[in-house]
Amino acid sequence: MNEHANTHWEATVSAALLGVNNRRPAQLDADPVIAKYLSAQQDPATAVLHTAALTATARNASGPPRVEATAIAEAPADDRPELSETAARALAHALEAAAPLRYRMLRRVAEAHRRPPAAMLVPLLRTALRDTAAREAVVRIVGARGAWIAEKTSDIGWSGLLLAELYGTPEGNSDRDEQLWTHGIVAQRVMYLTGLRRRDPAAALALLTGGWRSETGPDREQLLSALETGLSAADEPFLEACLRDSRKKVRATAQRQLALIPESGLQRRLQTLVAPHVRLGRSLLRATTLTFTTPSGDELAAASADRYGISTAGNASGANSNGVNTNGANSKQWVTAQLLGRITLPFWEAHLGAAPEKIVSAVSLEDAVRVIPALSEAALVQGDRRWATALLKHPTAPVSLFAIADPACVADVVIDRLRRGDVVGLDHLPVPWPPAVATAVFDAFDAMHRRHRTLTPEGHTMLLHLPVGLPLDIDWGRRILALHEAATAGMWTNHLAIFDEALHIRTVLERELT
């Protein structure tokens, strides 16, 4: 409608609001499209109503207002075979299921290298947004199309880190990656730097050091963590310089990373410091005993221990950064724990001339309270499976070792704990479980039900993990029937219905992906 039409329409609205005696639109101002249908002889009130009706009719007939728009680029191609309709439906149900099934089914689809239907991209991305544990599998499933749709739908509120992870996939856009480094938020820049460390550690180090002085303190704290990928002796000079940083977290990160470099100056100092204080000996009660004495204050000062984060104050909190209990150690115990936790584990084998199993078995019960948690911390940080497996056999070993220890050893430990009614560790086992583990879970569940005649929290945990861990190539019909009988007797059939649905989802998805 033309300019005069707008003036006439505004006058018509004023007349309707203030009364025709105070405002009266002139017919000459009306749009020609409707003016010929308006009569000068009409009553003013009738003319206002006619104008409104004719204007609405004209606007509806002419369609919506013209909108200028620029076409967006097409979504990138995805050549992977698409999930079948049945598999996609099962995956959609798995997204709403309990965590053990959800994580397993997402990993299974990611491993199968199938692309999801377009309609599932947003639900999958929403799952990754609210559940960080599912993020790695989701990123692999949605691929480059997921990155594309996340970028085009920023109003949904995707996190910067999720976008960075999406563009870090092999199908990602390298130009976009560089934009994330130069213009992204710090989480995106960390993700870009981590990806570059995997491809070219030296280039990533040069990129970080080149702009280090211009980074803010909080950004330095996060960016430095990216160096942990591909860490080597080439990073030592920069990390040594970071020990003088004004930010405590930057210094702590540099101290931790220096300890992870076997040939670093820090490792040489610490190994020289503790070597005279640790030895394998014999006692009257034990064939072999590990003895450990704490270095003196002068020895710690000579080794610049405080510069590398070795504190002489006791640890009142009782736990370290990985959740390994240090039992409120006093100052000497805390120094011992820190030294054991920082030194690379192969040093102990070379220094003591013994394998991890022999060293762990030589730890006395009295010393275990400080030695086992510290060595476990070192195994977790260094990702040493041999040491984690040896430590897991010790009665005081923390459950956090399940994540990296040998699966066969973990299975044996889990079975032993199940016999004592302890279900901790089921979520750390690779799936499907060995048949012996599945049988032990059923046996433990039967024993609990006979004892309590109801569904205990431990029993509920087993019901959550059974549908995920059961080997599907074995007929478990008799044991599952026993569960149904117990559920009917104990009046917890609703929980068993969830178990049945989860097992059905997994069975269908496994069949469709095979």
Burial class (CB in 10 A: 0-12, 13-18, 19+), 24: middle
Specify the pLDDT at position 9.
75
Residue ranges, the chain, pLDDT below 50: 1, 170-173, 175, 316, 318, 321-328
Amino acid at 462: M
DSSP helix/strand/coil, 279: strand
Specify the pLDDT at position 324.
46
Specify the pLDDT at position 321.
47
CA distance 286 to 15: 104
Residue 300: closest CA among 291, 310, 314, 292: 310
N-term to C-term CA, the chain: 63
Specify the pLDDT at position 206.
97
Specify the pLDDT at position 325.
43
CA distance 252 to 270: 16
How is 403-420 classified by DSSP, letter by letter? GTS-HHHHHHHHHHHHHT
Helix pair 345-352, 265-274: axis angle to 10 deg: 40
Specify the pLDDT at position 323.
42
Specify the pLDDT at position 424.
85
Contact at 8 Å (CB) between 373 and 324? yes
Specify the pLDDT at position 329.
53
Residue 476: closest CA among 448, 439, 423, 507: 439
Task: Dump pLDDT digits (tens) for 312-337.
Answer: 875 545 455 444 444 445 688 889 88
DSSP helix/strand/coil, 209: helix
The residues, any chain, with a CB within 8 Å of residue 126's CB and separated by 6 or more, are 156
Specify the pLDDT at position 28.
60
The residues, any chain, with a CB within 8 Å of residue 460's CB and separated by 6 or more, are 495
Contact at 8 Å (CB) between 465 and 441? yes
Q: What are the CB-based long-range contacts (under 8 Å, 24+) for 224-227?
A: 224/250, 224/253, 224/254, 224/257, 225/190, 225/253, 226/190, 226/193, 226/194, 226/197, 227/197, 227/257
CA distance 214 to 217: 9
Specify the pLDDT at position 322.
45
Specify the pLDDT at position 292.
86
Specify the pLDDT at position 11.
80
